[in-house]
Structure 1
Amino acid sequence: MHWADSVAQNLARRGDSHTIAAGITPSGVFHIGHIREVVTCDIIMRACNDAGMNARLLFIVDSIDPLRKVYPFLHSDYEKYIGHPLYKIPPPDSEGRPDLEAEHNYAAHFLNPFVEALRELGVHPELSWNHEAYESGKFEDASRIFLNRRNEVAKILTEISGRPIPENWYPYTPIGNDGSMDGLTVTGWDDPYVLWIDEEGNEGKSHIGTAEGKLPWRMDWPAKWAVHGVTCEPFGKDHAASGGSYSTGRQLVEFLGAAPPIPVPYEWIQLKGMGPMSSSTNVIVGPLEALDIVPPEILRFLISSNKPKRHIEFDTGTELIKKAELYDHFCRIYANENEKSNEDDSARKVKLKEEQRGSIRFAQVVPRDMPMIISHKASFSHLSMLAQIRSDDESVWESMRASGMLDGEPPESLVDRLRRMRNWISSKHFPDGNKLVIQTSVTDEAKEALLIRNDVSPDDSTRSYLAALVETYRACEWKDETIQNAICDYARDHDIGLREAFVILYNIHLGKDYGPKLASLIAEIPREDAIAPLVDALSILDGA
């Protein structure tokens, strides 16, 4: 059983109607680490709906949270906005300065591109701006209950978190006359007002039903569960730690007459070699940046194929190719009836197939759609090769038709994949090891390697091998199967190990020891262009 189906099974015991919630503070640029939470919610929602339940995905935007500091991407002009709710401060311009002419606020500035990325991933949540919920009085009852029972709340926080709570503490953060939540001391509670005094001795009061303040995080979170009827919520592992905010929230929500949601703790997505992504430290790959190079179904697959508690390392290099090809492999298993479970399968194999099919099912951009098994046989790595050696898309399709990898016109999903592939190749993320430069003559490095081998093995085998290939290439049918046979058969005939033969040819054609499937690469090069560096290599050996 796929992990999302297991969560749905647990939710079914609670009833047929569910709200799966995600919550994020839009304090800076979103990264693909944030995508894990919302896509995990979407996957669980789909699993519930597939099981006959009625589930919705609610994305709670913590827009009333304050700006906590001047982040590296902000100008020092933002110092004056520290402590102000995010929805009440201007967004940064291109230089990081407050843009006072902008039509949208700071929170919307950072949220909107993220929502755009979610839509591209097939995620369409209901948005709930937290400041609007406070303005409309939805949190008034919860605030009143926590304030009236502040001593009980303090006791729970102390016992579970281990942190002492001051005797004069109140579970509410008011907003002062200057618009900031910083520098205020709550002095009392006179329903419906929280009384306070600022650092300059000015006294004031905040109405708990009109967004003149907010609940602190450990009270705000369970209040959201009660207000929105949340039944399941994925959240980062820090909240799930012993003494963490989920531990306190599950007890505090009972004050509000509600039950805690089923928790789904998840691990971070890490950027390979750089650790967990963080907006505040600017260690990020943005969601739109990622989707510019990664097909949305592959990004969803990255999340659907890993249980939430397993950390994910996001790699835009060679691992991306491996992940994409694993996705295509699972797609074929999903579509092939002969691969489905049968009586001879072991319990472990049945379980594995169910998990694989679930991973593909939830990776689809369109819910409950059978994955589109593209009517071509080109692997992700083969498409990477074609995109580099053929500059226009039509020549890529022609090549695929000629090799039997495509029938007729390419499906939209393949056109989209090639577009992102070209973006990837031209980006900083494309691995140097996968870059292809087709050589028309032997490079200096390859020449040196060729001469060293000739000195070590003065039996003329290398020259005879290359000459045989040139002769065959000039007359053979120009397709990868024929070329592959020639490469391997002549290597055996000349007592050259296959690995050594491939290294020789990779050096001649690419100027390095490795590359994509060699025969497929050569078949894509015009015949004379493939022969030219071999002839050059023969000239080098003849002159040695």
Structure 2
Amino acid sequence: MSQDNQPKLIHWADFAADRIIRQQGDKETYTVASGITPSGDVHFGNFRETITVDLVARALKSRGKKVRFIFSWDDYDTFRKVPKNMPKQDELAKYMFQPIVDTPDPYGVEESYAAHHEVSYEAQVKKVGVDVEPIYQAKKYRAGDYKDQIKKALNMRKDIAAILNEHRKEPYGDEYYPVSVYCEKYKTDETEVIGWDGESKITYRNKNHDYEGVIDLNTTDKVKLPWRVDWPMRWVYESVDFEPGGKDHSSQGGSYTTAKDIVKLFGGKPPVYLQYDFVSIKGAGGKMSSSSGNLVTVNDVLKVYEPEMVRWTFASYKTNVDFSVSFDLDVLKTYEDFDRQERLAYGLEAGNEKKVNMAKRVYEFSQIGEQPAVCPFQPSFRHLCNILQINDGNIDKARSFYASEIKNERDERRFSERSKCALYWLENYAPEDFKFKINTSAVEYSCDDKQTEFMTSFVSFMTNDWDSISTDKELHEKMYEIIHSVEVQPNDVFPVMYQKLICKEKGPKLAGFIRTIGKDRVIELFK
């Protein structure tokens, strides 16, 4: 791609891609990386790292570069905590401090506890257009792929300790070895290395049992590097050009601080790095944690938001900004904001050049597949909630209200996904005063003479002159005309109308609500 045809530097992902090319040199293929330990269900906060890498990968591809997106599953890590949301707690507890990959799937479906979470997360990210090359670290370690790197780390242990000690209150001494060993007899990593012969043999002892063993790196699969050494080793092994990290890794003395020095001992250099901040769910208390079981997953968010909206949310924020995803009433505003950005991207709403260009780029990053040539159908989420409730949650019946606006397959998908999200939100998160159910028959409600006169006049109008009304505004004006003729206050009659419609004191704006419910149904309820 020529310099003239390069995408403009508008979005943070474009700036990151540009920095990668400048710092890592012009290459045909760039390797971008992410990963996690499958200690429990992978939560939505973890997804921020995955989507950050995906957005940068897309920015590189838009510059004509090939990209390898590797996702490392650290499934050779030890199983340290049984999440509260997992079944068979006692059974899982038997595998504490053994490799996660050797812990059985409590659901009895996948080959291991690790595989259960790996398969689940890989399927979830595909729903939002993220395609990764998974690397299962247990397989790499057990195949002996890293044995030379482990030997190198052991022979550089004093240099590694010196780097780590710069940030430790209690420095490592000669007892430090940059490896952990899974005991051959007791299977856990509750061990201590007590010797290294400089070539291939490690002597260790079990901390909890009177057991000492010697293992040979040329034949064993029981040894792994700790995170602070493993991470920079893999940067070199996989030739990683870009990998972000969370606040915890990025803080002074955190794992990135030490990794960018340790990587040089392995003969490499640190990849381009971006810090990303935390994501929370508005209305859900506490920090999300896979190991504690306190979490919301990508699948959970997809029950409330369309896939493109999930991508759009992350693309809309710089990585170093924390934000919340709303499950409360602010869901309505989020949908309104997305629809407005979509209209800006298609030139259907005016905005200054900078705002429009950003909207277009964010929208491009939000796509799951090919971007539609025309703006997709936009049913207002608030209005759709009302239509669905008027139709007792029946999506097929609700669709008839929008039939003339649904013109293609993309519109059908938009309506289907948004309707399912609206129903789920109504059932699980919407405040009570937002929800309603249309009465199936007329209800008794005590009215004074003026209220009765108004209701009689309004029903008469609906029976005889309904066809004279063609807009919500016209019906609104007609209601006030009758209110004034009867000499009654709006606050005296509107609650009566709502009570007869939904047995509540208030609800959606009356004129549009009545027109949507339909003449015949309203007359029956108002009689």
TM-score bucket of the superposed structures, by smaller chain: 0.7 to 0.9
Q: What amino acid does structure 2 have at the position aligned with 1:383?
A: L
Shift of 1:228: 1.3
**Take 1:284 and 1:387, find their aligned partners in 2: how far apart are those partners?**
29
Q: Which residue of structure 1 lines up, in the alignment, with residue 133 of structure 2?
A: 126
Q: Equivalent residues in 2 for 1:404-483 (5 A)? A: 404-407=404-407, 411-418=411-418, 420-421=420-421, 424-425=424-425, 427-439=427-439, 460=450, 465-477=454-466, 481-483=470-472
**Take 2:333 and 2:52, find their aligned partners in 1: how far apart are those partners?**
22
Match 1:282 to one of 285, 293, 296: 293
**Take 1:117 and 1:66, find their aligned partners in 2: how far apart are those partners?**
24
Q: Equivalent residues in 2 for 1:241-260 (5 A)? A: 241-260=251-270
Q: Equivalent residues in 2 for 1:271-420 (5 A)? A: 271-273=281-283, 274-336=285-347, 339=350, 345=352, 350-366=353-369, 369-370=371-372, 373-374=375-376, 376-390=377-391, 391-401=393-403, 404-407=404-407, 411-418=411-418, 420=420
Q: Which residue of structure 1 lines up, in the alignment, with residue 230 of structure 2?
A: 220
* RMSD (CA atoms): 3.0
Question: Does residue 267 of structure 1 match 2:277?
Answer: yes
Q: Is the 8 A contact 2:514 2:522 kept in 1?
A: yes
Bigger mean CA offset, 183-192 vs 270-279: 270-279
Pick closer, same or farther for the CA change 1:194–1:242 going to 2, 3 Å: same
**Take 2:342 and 2:490, find their aligned partners in 1: how far apart are those partners?**
32
What is the CA deviation profile of residues 345-400 of structure 1, one whole-angstrom value per residue up to 9, with x for unaligned ones?
4xxxx43333322221111112x6347622x3421222222222225444323211
Q: Which residue of structure 2 lines up, in the alignment, with residue 46 of structure 1?
A: 58
How many residues are paired up? 505
Pick closer, same or farther for the CA change 1:26–1:352 going to 2, 3 Å: same
**Take 1:224 and 1:266, find their aligned partners in 2: how far apart are those partners?**
21
Unaligned runs of 5+ in 1: 94-98, 536-544
**Take 1:208 and 1:497, find their aligned partners in 2: how far apart are those partners?**
88
Shift of 1:517: 4.5
Shift of 1:255: 0.8
Shift of 1:225: 1.2
Q: Is the 8 A contact 1:292 1:423 kept in 2?
A: no
Question: Does residue 167 of structure 1 match 2:174?
Answer: yes
**Take 1:166 and 1:442, find their aligned partners in 2: how far apart are those partners?**
83
Q: Is the 8 A contact 1:331 1:373 kept in 2?
A: yes
**Take 2:325 and 2:460, find their aligned partners in 1: how far apart are those partners?**
46
Pick closer, same or farther for the CA change 1:412–1:532 going to 2, 3 Å: closer
Shift of 1:297: 1.1
Q: Which residue of structure 2 lines up, in the alignment, with residue 542 of structure 1?
A: none
Shift of 1:87: 1.0
Question: Does residue 2 of structure 1 match 2:33?
Answer: no
Q: Which residue of structure 2 lines up, in the alignment, with residue 96 of structure 1?
A: none
**Take 2:221 and 2:503, find their aligned partners in 1: how far apart are those partners?**
65
Shift of 1:481: 4.9
Q: Is the 8 A contact 1:271 1:284 kept in 2?
A: no
Aligned residues with identical type, % of pairs: 27
Q: What amino acid does structure 1 have at the position aligned with 2:261?
A: Q
Bigger mean CA offset, 305-314 vs 512-521: 512-521
Pick closer, same or farther for the CA change 1:112–1:431 going to 2, 3 Å: farther
Q: What amino acid does structure 2 have at the position aligned with 1:129?
A: Y
**Take 2:363 and 2:408, find their aligned partners in 1: how far apart are those partners?**
26
Q: Is the 8 A contact 2:343 2:349 kept in 1?
A: no
Q: Is the 8 A contact 1:268 1:312 kept in 2?
A: yes
Shift of 1:181: 3.8
Q: Which residue of structure 2 lines up, in the alignment, with residue 145 of structure 1?
A: 152
Match 2:37 to one of 18, 22, 25: 25
3-state SS, counterpart of residue 196 of structure 1: strand
**Take 2:412 and 2:406, find their aligned partners in 1: how far apart are those partners?**
13
Give TM-score, length-normalised by structure 1: 0.84
Match 1:204 to one of 207, 213, 219: 213
Pick closer, same or farther for the CA change 1:163–1:53 going to 2, 3 Å: farther
Q: Which residue of structure 2 lines up, in the alignment, with residue 525 of structure 1?
A: 517
Bigger mean CA offset, 313-322 vs 491-500: 491-500
Pick closer, same or farther for the CA change 1:271–1:422 going to 2, 3 Å: closer
Shift of 1:25: 0.6
What is the CA deviation profile of residues 394-419 of structure 1, one whole-angstrom value per residue up to 9, with x for unaligned ones?
43232113xx5334788342353155
Q: Is the 8 A contact 1:387 1:421 kept in 2?
A: no
Q: Which residue of structure 1 lines up, in the alignment, with residue 121 of structure 2?
A: 114
**Take 1:500 and 1:269, find their aligned partners in 2: how far apart are those partners?**
46
Shift of 1:46: 0.6
Shift of 1:532: 3.7
3-state SS, counterpart of residue 262 of structure 1: coil
**Take 2:195 and 2:255, find their aligned partners in 1: how far apart are those partners?**
25
3-state SS, counterpart of residue 108 of structure 1: helix
3-state SS, counterpart of residue 271 of structure 1: strand
Pick closer, same or farther for the CA change 1:12–1:303 going to 2, 3 Å: same
Q: What amino acid does structure 1 have at the position aligned with 2:400?
A: E
3-state SS, counterpart of residue 70 of structure 2: strand
Question: Does residue 192 of structure 1 match 2:200?
Answer: yes
Pick closer, same or farther for the CA change 1:380–1:81 going to 2, 3 Å: same
**Take 1:503 and 1:362, find their aligned partners in 2: how far apart are those partners?**
46
Bigger mean CA offset, 35-44 vs 426-435: 426-435
**Take 1:328 and 1:155, find their aligned partners in 2: how far apart are those partners?**
54
Give TM-score, length-normalised by structure 2: 0.86
**Take 2:70 and 2:153, find their aligned partners in 1: how far apart are those partners?**
24
**Take 1:335 and 1:20, find their aligned partners in 2: how far apart are those partners?**
31
Shift of 1:105: 1.1
Pick closer, same or farther for the CA change 1:18–1:481 going to 2, 3 Å: farther
Unaligned runs of 5+ in 2: 1-9
Pick closer, same or farther for the CA change 1:42–1:497 going to 2, 3 Å: farther
Match 2:83 to one of 56, 71, 87: 71
Q: Which residue of structure 1 lines up, in the alignment, with residue 100 of structure 2?
A: 86
Q: Is the 8 A contact 2:458 2:482 kept in 1?
A: no
